[in-house]
Amino acid sequence: MYFFEQENRLTAKQRNETITIEPWGTNALRVRATQNADFSGCSIALSPVKSSAEITIGSHDAVIRNGKISCTVHDTGWMEFYSGERLIFKEYYRDFSGANEHSPSMKITAREFKAVSGNDYRITARFEAVPGEKIFGMGQYQQPNLDLKGCILELAQRNSQISIPFYISSEGYGFLWNNAGIGEVMFGANYTQWHSLLSEELDYWITADDTPKKLLENYTEVTGRAPEFPDNALGLWQCKLRYRTQDEVLEVAREYKRRGIPLDVIVIDFFHWIRQGDWSFDPEYWPDPKAMTDELKEMDVRCMVSIWPTVDKKSVNFKEMLDNGLFIRTERGSMQCFDFQGDTVIYDALNPEARKFIWNKAKENYYSYGIDMFWLDEAEPEYSAYDYENYRHYTGPALKVGNSYPREHAMAFYEGMRAEGQTDIVNLLRCAWVGSQKYAALVWSGDIRSSFAALRDQLSAGLNIGIAGIPWWVSDTGGFFGDIRDEHFNELLVRWFQFSTFCPVLRMHGDRGPHDIPNLSDLDYGGGFSETGRPNELWSYGEEVYEILRKYLDIRLGMKDYIKSLMDEASENGSPVIRTMFYEFPDDNKCWELDDQYMFGPKYLVAPVMYQGITEREVYLPHGSWRDIHSGNIFEGGRTITAPAPLEIMPVFEKI
């Protein structure tokens, strides 16, 4: 292998492989390797950030340093990364010559390229495991694991699964797999292995710093940060499956006003249209959307409307979009991608003309009426079958580029709204990718079950997606699939609402059974088609539940200035709103072990009740003084206490 310096980069060549390492942001390096004639030149998830490096080339190795991080490339091609003088990360390498001390005859390479066709490869990258290392981030997976060490994760988007391939390590580094394709990562005890099913080149980014907060600041410097969060969306969001008419929407908003309950946002869910892909109201059930929106604004209520990326073949927009090539294509068989209540295809958010088309329809049919918030559902996008190898985008096969779809979908609406001069932008999406945060994406955790097990999963999901760079996150309070006849449902709803109170956004939503409400129409299309769930407002579950929900909403409203400060911090340095304990207390070893409590910003320690029938729970208080927000009692930290948790109480402690 020989080394040379070129344009602030260290480049190494051996046989058919070229490696280039360059500074990219604060205390960070970008590493690429290819067996093609040259690199693609794509930045993928990374924004350009000017940095300079120190490069030293020796007889058997070369070193590149950018601030606190450095990389040594040996003449065998094997790489090691250091924070200062401390080794933090290195490739897993069992080479041909015996240069590695472990089983040299195994002949396992750190970087493996298996040709598929043309310039594309199946790529595998392997890195050494560190005993005791803990790993956090990677987006959102429906599992209770907060520490991802030992987990196998699919790198693919699904309903309720969000792949954002960035993590931080307890060893003091952050790592981004800079690849938008389908694949898998295994955080094994013996080694970590990343696998991409279709890529031109290996590409990753790594940063080293002193605290998790600094690591996340470095990461969001190069991938983007959330804009300013609107003041008028920090309170209660009201939603259900589904408000079927504008009269239903107005009746609910009026009842909130009559009860003196501030309501920030009310949401109109799916099938307010005639067919998927019309992106407009069915006039039979929504005869005057502007009058509806005007009345809501008089009550200081913002209106959000659901938009799906799916297009029915009978939609008014289908032929024009087909003729202009604005759909995701199938490689074989039918062009159908999704078959929920219609034979549908999906618009291609990776096509700039398609993004322009869908925004112009939304602008004409919603924005012009004063609706300035959009619920971008199905944003993975959801396929009837997740056969990723059967789909092709404007920029390439889904296997190669598909994971970036939700980010581009968010961009379509954010940039359209910005062009109209709007600044108070927040849109709700069911999926995200690296950088979605800079497009005002409020991500929710998908169509999950109404169960205590699902509630437990959401805590890990919300904390890990925050570490992956998405500070605006929410779940369906009470879960999505639920039945009010379940004897434990009210208890679950209360516990979930308490948790949601101390999340970035407080949103009531869910499909509440039983489904015994007749449809408005016998037709198989239109705004009267499709079922609706039971009522899902604060007063829908009896007086006892109502009083508890009102109590926690009042707590939320009393914290608006504090919550706004957390949103501002997310915009300034990328910090999540809900934070792992170690994020605020990185020097406390106990905090790296905790997975059932969290920090709501730097001030409030939250211990959600996530199991049925619990009336007390253990809470670890880090060193310092803590005030129970319910009783006012003061506790000295550095110990675990048992906190009372009857139904009306979720333990929360304020750092004083």
Q: How high is the pLDDT of residue 98?
A: 43
Rounded to the nearest angstrom, the gap between the alpha carbon of residue 86 and the centroid of all alpha carbons in its chain is 32
Instruction: Report the 10 Å Cβ neighbour count for 255.
Output: 14
Q: How high is the pLDDT of residue 137?
A: 98
Report the distance separating Cα 99 and Cα 631, nearest Å: 63
Report the distance separating Cα 378 and Cα 276, nearest Å: 12
Report the distance separating Cα 512 and Cα 535, nearest Å: 7
Instruction: Report the 10 Å Cβ neighbour count for 547.
Output: 11
Q: How high is the pLDDT of residue 101?
A: 56
Instruction: Dump pLDDT digits (tens) for 481-509.
Output: 999 999 999 999 999 999 999 999 999 99
Hey, is 473 helix, strand or coil?
strand
Domain ranges of the chain: 2-208, 231-308+352-382+400-573, 578-655
- Checking if the pLDDT of 282 tops 80, the result is yes
Find residue 527's DSSP bridge partners: none
**Any idea what DSSP says for residue 254?**
H
Instruction: Dump pLDDT digits (tens) for 164-206.
Output: 999 999 999 999 999 999 999 999 999 999 999 999 999 999 9
Find residue 29's DSSP bridge partners: 23, 206
Which among 380, 408, 537, 628 is annotated as catalytic?
A: 380
- Checking if the pLDDT of 480 tops 50, the result is yes
Q: How high is the pLDDT of residue 199?
A: 98
Report the distance separating Cα 627 and Cα 619, nearest Å: 13
pTM recorded for the entire structure: 0.97
Strand order in the sheet with 373-376: 473-474, 441-444, 427-429, 373-376, 302-307, 265-268, 236-238, 506-508
What stretches of 414-457 adopt beta strand conformation (E)?
Answer: 427-429, 441-444
Hey, is 285 helix, strand or coil?
coil
Contact present, 525 and 580 (Cβ < 8 Å): no
Q: Is the dihedral of CA 291, 293, 297, 301 positive or negative?
A: positive
Which among 201, 221, 269, 377 is annotated as catalytic?
A: 377
Whose tokens are 């979009």? That residue is 321
Q: CA separation (Å) from 291 to 297, 305, 371? A: 10, 15, 11
Instruction: Dump pLDDT digits (tens) for 516-530.
Output: 999 999 999 999 999
Tell me which amino acid residue 138 is: M
- With a pLDDT cut of 70, the percent of the chain lying above it is 98
Q: CA separation (Å) from 529 to 45, 244, 272, 277, 278? A: 40, 9, 9, 15, 15
CATH number assigned to the domain covering 231-308+352-382+400-573:
3.20.20.80
Whether 2-208 shares its CATH topology with 578-655 is answered yes
Contact present, 258 and 469 (Cβ < 8 Å): no
First to last CA, the chain: 58
Tell me which amino acid residue 540 is: S
Complete DSSP assignment for 177-234? E---S-EEEEE-SSEEEEEEEEESSEEEEEEE-SSHHHHHHHHHHHH----PPPGGGS
What stretches of 242-332 adopt beta strand conformation (E)?
Answer: 265-268, 302-307, 310-312, 329-330
Q: How high is the pLDDT of residue 311?
A: 98
Instruction: Dump pLDDT digits (tens) for 589-634.
Output: 999 999 999 999 999 999 999 999 999 999 999 999 999 999 999 9
Mean pLDDT of the chain: 96
128 in active site: no
**Any idea what DSSP says for residue 334?**
-
Tell me which amino acid residue 611 is: Y
377 in active site: yes
- Checking if the pLDDT of 103 tops 70, the result is no
Report the distance separating Cα 238 and Cα 259, nearest Å: 14
447 in active site: yes
**Any idea what DSSP says for residue 328?**
P
Q: How confident is the model at residue 100 (pLDDT cuts 50, 70, 90)?
A: low
Hey, is 90 helix, strand or coil?
strand
Fold exhibited by the domain 2-208:
Immunoglobulin-like (2.60.40)
- Checking if the pLDDT of 223 tops 70, the result is yes
Which among 154, 228, 424, 447 is annotated as catalytic?
A: 447
Instruction: Dump pLDDT digits (tens) for 310-321.
Output: 999 999 999 999
- Checking if the pLDDT of 96 tops 80, the result is no
**Any idea what DSSP says for residue 518?**
P
Instruction: Report the 10 Å Cβ neighbour count for 42.
Output: 14
Multiple choice CATH, 578-655, 2.60.40.1180, 3.40.50.720, 3.30.2350.10, 3.40.50.300: 2.60.40.1180
- With a pLDDT cut of 90, the percent of the chain lying above it is 96
What H or E segment, with its residue span, contains residue 413? helix 405-419
- Average pLDDT rounded to a whole number, residues 262-277: 97
Q: CA separation (Å) from 613 to 457, 486, 616? A: 18, 14, 9
Q: How high is the pLDDT of residue 93?
A: 77
Report the C-alpha dihedral over residues 241, 246, 247, 252, rounded to 10 degrees: 50
Instruction: Report the 10 Å Cβ neighbour count for 103.
Output: 10
Burial per residue of 579-596, b for 16 or more beta-carbon CB atoms within 10 angstroms, e otherwise: bbbbbbbbebeebbebbb
Hey, is 452 helix, strand or coil?
helix
- Average pLDDT rounded to a whole number, residues 539-543: 98
- Among candidate residues 335, 347, 342, 338, the one with its CA nearest the CA of residue 376: 347
- Phi-psi label, residue 571: left if phi above 0, alpha if psi -120 to 50, beta otherwise: alpha
Hey, is 540 helix, strand or coil?
helix
Report the distance separating Cα 92 and Cα 38, nearest Å: 25
Instruction: Dump pLDDT digits (tens) for 418-466.
Output: 999 999 999 999 999 999 999 999 999 999 999 999 999 999 999 999 9
Instruction: Dump pLDDT digits (tens) for 116-164.
Output: 989 999 999 999 999 999 999 999 999 999 999 999 999 999 999 999 9
Q: CA separation (Å) from 286 to 272, 293, 297, 341? A: 8, 11, 17, 21
Find residue 508's DSSP bridge partners: 238, 477
